[in-house]
Chain A
């Protein structure tokens, strides 16, 4: 049996509790009856015959024949044509059991076995983008607010707000304490939301943080958990970079803290994960929601109809994710290569006279260019960004697009190119910095 969690009341949105999903209609109820007792000519001749689903099985043999004649195409499927039919027809939003189980065990592995994940609490979505939006639909009503620490991933402005109508109220963090989230900042942000007449529904953190590239310390996670419990709101922990920590011991997942607390108050916590960063497979569109809240799991599953993962992809990855020897060695190698890349870029930038935040995770570093700003303002930062893009020909992300309260910080990614290209980028930066130094010297001379 799975992880059982007490379910007292933290509120869900109107959309989540509405019956408009229509699943109580006979249309869907009949499917359930079939799922529970499906007819099979040999093994279950008295089972329910499915004639309530407009599915075409009359010509599958032709597709199977095609695959047998085209082994190259079949190779992305997996093993010839066997099992292809069931898979191609499979559109159950519970997802392939083998895949869900593999996902749960992979998530455990990423956390060094320090937390357990129940496959029955895993909801599959086409990417973490969809997972974050879906959770927002479920946890908040239009006009409500989620508190998000700054700086944050620019995509949140779309994912959390566009279709949901929910607002983001920033939890302001600054360089005075390495952009850590403090209890004061949490309280201040809550008050800001209240002043704007927004009902706060939850806090959404990214751990490890994008764009900072650091893991959230255990004590801070505990404080955040206490805060959301006091306010009776939700906590979404986007742990999409949990496998991209340079040293595995430095990452604490909120799941570990919940386990230490014996899952008390866990029903307000939801974890988002994806294979886009840790496994470098963003094109596959594989994301998950892991929720400790039964109602959220059920609703999220229903809503995932709008964002299902291709059954072919689930099948393809299920065996890879359950290959523990492979995943173990992959994670180790990945961490090692990320750490080396990080070293390379930090040293490269330092030799050019640029300092970064001391990072320990992620695919990027958080670079401080504030000494270079003409004016210590957003406009100054944008001018510098423009120069770097047009003259130095580097695309880096300005802190203002991440809603950073201090101008001059930039996110620089280092894992999406070859070492050679990174060398060239670093050289361009060195040349740029040298040019600036000569200009300043000429000016002051």
Chain B
């Protein structure tokens, strides 16, 4: 077959106004346009080189395209012309992972580990594989299992340690990133919890001892020390510890306001991003919690798409903390970011999801967290780092059994949702009778209450004083908005799932006393 050189790319990929080469010209010149005039030469020369390189590559690609059998491409859904450019942008500028992740995701050259791998490929077994490799390289003590097994059998009241849960299965070293049975059970569970609209692949998971190390490990993998993530405010106070402490990644707030019901808007995101750039801070990703903690609102599908477009354009990551996905009670349906990734044009490798069982299944003590990613390098690096935060084997077993009982899980969820809604509705109603309005929320275990009318002065100081009053006088621990970096003073997160319906009057009475005392002292 003769190969004819065709200069023009395929018709589907062409778009005159935002042509791919046009955008590639604009992006490098952005730096000049933003006023770094003093570095004009330093910017123009690499930009020019970059531009010419792109042209060269494009020509190369067009000729390559005619040699290979062109795959049949369906017309891309054209919601915005930007999304079209993403097809090209994604294939050239792949999102980068951290230096640490690059280093450790490579196969280990230490023969200590190479040897261990070799055994797992061809393990000796007296009956089934007598010519296999005998493991003499793992310092493991199996000589006294029988004693431990006997102790468990004796001491666990009225039970027999059945073979499926016997000590032999759970005592030895497991793969650090979680047993496959648990990953499979979790992927089914996540599918169920998130409205059954998207399937999760167990091989895209790394399990960790809770969502807390999951967030920290992702931070280590996606950003270097001194880089930053953008995070909408108000946000979960634990993020400061998980992202900033050891990984040394900064969190740049993107302020959301009560006028928008604290929903994110892209303009604010853009502004925060460019301000960071001006300061010379490298933004590596956006961290969102959806459903949101502390507000309890759910991100719309449109907003998720906009977020993805934004991330594509800036070539950064998205970390979506979805730990409250199963704790919805409102009329809005939760949409996981995984659900909208099914389109071809999106670079999935920039999206990472955090999940866990602490909220939806109330098993915080058991430490079960999930990193879900489409990025092989991130998975490889996270898998290695999970050695520091592995889930205890007996817990993996127990949880696998629980999750595999589909009937129980379904019943649990229906009842749980109903009860959360009951407590939420009653509590919010009672608060509103006291004159305290809450932000509109559809998920989570808390309400985001506006007590700005009660604070004096209208500032963080006034807010903290009110918080102290609640704690010392009313003896109620609630979370002040300033801990969540909320830009508007006076908002408080109040969790209501730790009290019963019957206890609500007691709590409301205590709150009422504080409200009265604020009003009388004004």
- The interface of chain A, by Cβ under 8 A from chain B, is 15, 18, 20-23, 25-28, 30-31, 33-34, 37, 39, 41, 46-60, 62-63, 66, 70-80, 87-91, 126-127, 129-130, 133, 137, 142, 154-155, 157-159, 162-163, 210, 244, 277-286, 303, 305-313, 316, 319-320, 323, 326, 329-330, 333-334, 337-338, 341, 362-364, 382, 385, 389, 393-398, 400-402, 411-418, 420-421, 424-425, 428
Query: When A33-B471, A395-B118, A402-B112 are in contact, do A75 and B362 touch as well, CB less than 8 Å?
Result: no
Is B52's beta carbon under 8 Å from chain A?
Answer: no
| Docked-complex contact A319 and B155, CB < 8 angstroms | yes
Q: List 6 A-B contacts (CB under 8 A).
A: A126-B209, A279-B148, A312-B395, A320-B148, A337-B144, A396-B137
With A338-B143, A395-B116 already in contact, the answer to whether A283 and B174 are too (CB < 8 A) is yes
**Known: A52-B495, A56-B362. Is A413-B138 also a contact (CB below 8 A)?**
yes
Instruction: Given A54-B359, A56-B416, decide whether A416 and B135 contact each other with a Cβ distance below 8 A.
Output: yes
Are A53 and B209 interface neighbours, CB within 8 A?
no
Contacting A at CB under 8 A, from B408-449, are: 408, 411-412, 415-416, 419-420, 423, 444-446
Whether B115 pairs with A389 at a CB distance below 8 angstroms is yes
Q: Which residue of B lies closest to A75 (CB)?
A: B159
What is the chain B residue whose CB lies nearest that of A385?
B111
* A54, A71, A244, A312: residue with the most chain B Cβ atoms closer than 10 Å: A54
Residue of A nearest to B113 (CB): A154
Flag if A26 contacts B213 (CB, 8 Å): no
- B106-154 residues with Cβ-Cβ distance < 8 A to A are 110-113, 115-116, 118-119, 122, 124, 126, 130-145, 147-148, 151-152
Type the 1/0 row for B453-482, where 1 means its CB is closer than 8 Å to any CB of A: 000000000001001000100011111101
Q: Known contacts A88-B365, A394-B136, A420-B126: does B412 contact A26 (CB below 8 Å)? A: no
- B158 in the interface, Cβ–Cβ < 8 Å? yes
Q: Give Cα A30–Cα B478 distance, bound, in whole angstroms.
A: 7
Interface residue from B209, B360, B411 paired with A307 (Cβ < 8 Å):
B209
- Whether B139 contacts A310 by the Cβ 8 Å rule is no
Select B124's contact among A28, A90, A142, A421, beta carbons within 8 Å.
Answer: A421
Bound complex: CA of A75 vs CA of B405, how far in Å? 17
Q: What residue of chain B has the Cβ atom nearest to residue A55's Cβ?
A: B498
What 4 A-B pairs are tightest by C-beta distance, nearest first?
A311-B365, A283-B393, A75-B159, A154-B112
Q: How far is the CB of B141 from chain A (nearest CB, A)?
A: 4
CB distance B423 to A58 under 8 Å? yes
0 or 1 for each of B170-185: is its CB under 8 Å from A? (1 = yes):
1111100000000000
User: Does A306 lie within 8 Å of B445, measured CB to CB?
Assistant: no
Known contacts A56-B445, A71-B159; decide if A21 and B136 are in contact (CB<8 Å).
Answer: no
Which of A25, A75, A285 contacts B209 (CB under 8 A)?
A: A285
Contact B365 A89 (CB under 8 A): yes
**Alpha-carbon distance A55/B362, docked complex (angstroms):** 7
Do A158 and B467 touch (CB < 8 A)?
A: no
CA distance A413 to B143 in the complex (A): 12
Interchain CB contact under 8 A, A312 and B140: no
- In the complex, are the beta carbons of A285 and B390 less than 8 A apart? yes
Contacts A58-B420, A307-B209 aside, 9 further interface pairs with beta carbons under 8 A come to A39-B475, A51-B494, A51-B495, A52-B493, A57-B497, A75-B156, A76-B397, A283-B174, A397-B137
Interface residues of B, Cβ cutoff 8 Å to A: 100, 104, 110-113, 115-116, 118-119, 122, 124, 126, 130-145, 147-148, 151-152, 155-162, 164-165, 170-174, 209-210, 212-213, 216, 220, 225, 237-238, 240-242, 244-246, 293, 324, 327, 358-367, 384-385, 387-395, 397-398, 401-402, 405, 408, 411-412, 415-416, 419-420, 423, 444-446, 464, 467, 471, 475-480, 482-484, 493-500, 503, 507, 510
Q: A425 with B366: in contact, given A126-B209, A307-B388, A416-B141 (CB under 8 Å)? A: no
* Contact B495–A71 (Cβ < 8 Å): no
Complex-state Cα separation, A114 to B418, whole angstroms? 57
Contact B209 A308 (CB under 8 A): yes
Which one of B220, B246, B392 lies within 8 Å of A285 (CB-CB)?
B392
Given A25-B237, A91-B358; A162-B385 close (CB under 8 Å): yes
Specify which chain B residues have a CB less than 8 angstroms from the CB of A133 in the assembled complex: 388
Q: How far is the CA of A162 from the CA of B287 in the complex (A)?
A: 24
- Supposing A63-B412, A87-B365, A284-B392 touch, asked if A54 and B446 sit within 8 A by C-beta, the answer is yes
Across the interface, do A54 and B365 meet the contact criterion of CB distance under 8 Å? no
In whole angstroms, how far apart are the Cα atoms of A337 and B151 in the complex? 18
Partner of A53, one of B363, B420, B444, B498: B498
Which residues of B have CB within 8 Å of A306? Answer: 209, 212-213, 216, 242, 246, 388-389
Q: From B244, B365, B496, give the contact of A91 (CB < 8 A).
A: B365
CB distance from A72 to the nearest CB of B (A): 5
Q: Which residues of B contact A22 (CB under 8 A)?
A: 237-238, 240-241, 245
| CB closest chain-B residue, reference A85 | B362
CB distance from A43 to the nearest CB of B (A): 15
Contact present for A397 and B111 (CB under 8 Å): yes
Quote the shortest CB–CB distance from A262 to chain B (angstroms): 35
| A109, chain B: closest CB distance, angstroms | 15
A382–B365 Cα distance when bound, in Å, is 45
With A88-B365, A91-B367, A126-B389: A51-B394 Cβ-Cβ less than 8 Å: no
> Which residue of chain B has the shortest Cβ distance to A133 in the bound complex?
B388
Most buried by B among A55, A277, A306, A385: A306
A51 and B477 in contact, given A158-B387, A282-B173, A398-B111 (Cβ under 8 angstroms): yes
Chain B's nearest CB lies how many Å from the CB of A129?
Answer: 5
State A51–B478 Cα separation when bound (angstroms): 5
Nearest chain-B residue to A316 (Cβ)? B394
Whether A305 pairs with B212 at a CB distance below 8 angstroms is yes
| CB-based contact A310/B367 at 8 Å | yes
B360 cross-chain contacts in A, Cβ below 8 A: 56
Chain B residues near A385: list those with CB within 8 A.
111, 115
Partner of A416, one of B140, B158, B416: B140
Whether the Cβ atoms of A395 and B392 lie closer than 8 Å is no
Chain B min CB distance to A303 (Å): 8
Asked if A309 contacts B364 (CB within 8 A), the reply is no
Q: List, in ascending order, chain B residues with CB within 8 A of A26's CB.
A: 464, 467, 479-480, 482-483
Q: Smallest Cβ distance from A186 to chain B, in angstroms?
A: 25
Q: How far is the CA of A89 from the CA of B132 in the complex (A)?
A: 45
When the two chains form their complex, are residues A72 and B165 in contact, meaning their CB atoms are under 8 A apart?
Answer: yes
Nearest CB in chain A: distance from B469 CB, A: 12
Q: How far is the CA of A127 from the CA of B213 in the complex (A)?
A: 14
User: Are A59 and B142 touching (Cβ within 8 A)?
Assistant: no
Closest residue of A by beta carbon distance from B480:
A26
The one of B134, B392, B495 that contacts A283, using a Cβ cutoff of 8 Å: B392
- A312's closest neighbor in chain B, by CB? B395
Give the chain B neighbours of A70 by CB distance below 8 A.
401, 405
**Closest B residue, CB atoms, query A338:** B143
Docked-complex contact B394 and A312, CB < 8 angstroms: yes
Cα A73 to Cα B324 with chains together (Å)? 26
Chain A residues with CB below 8 A from B161, complex form? 75-76
Cβ-defined partner of B498 (8 Å) among A57, A73, A158, A283: A57
Residue of A nearest to B390 (CB): A285
The reply to whether A281 and B148 form a contact with Cβ atoms under 8 Å apart is yes
Q: A162-B385, A311-B365, A337-B143 are in contact. Are A75 and B160 (CB under 8 A)?
A: yes
Determine whether the beta carbon of B142 is less than 8 Å from that of A416: yes
Q: How far is the CA of A56 from the CA of B360 in the complex (A)?
A: 8
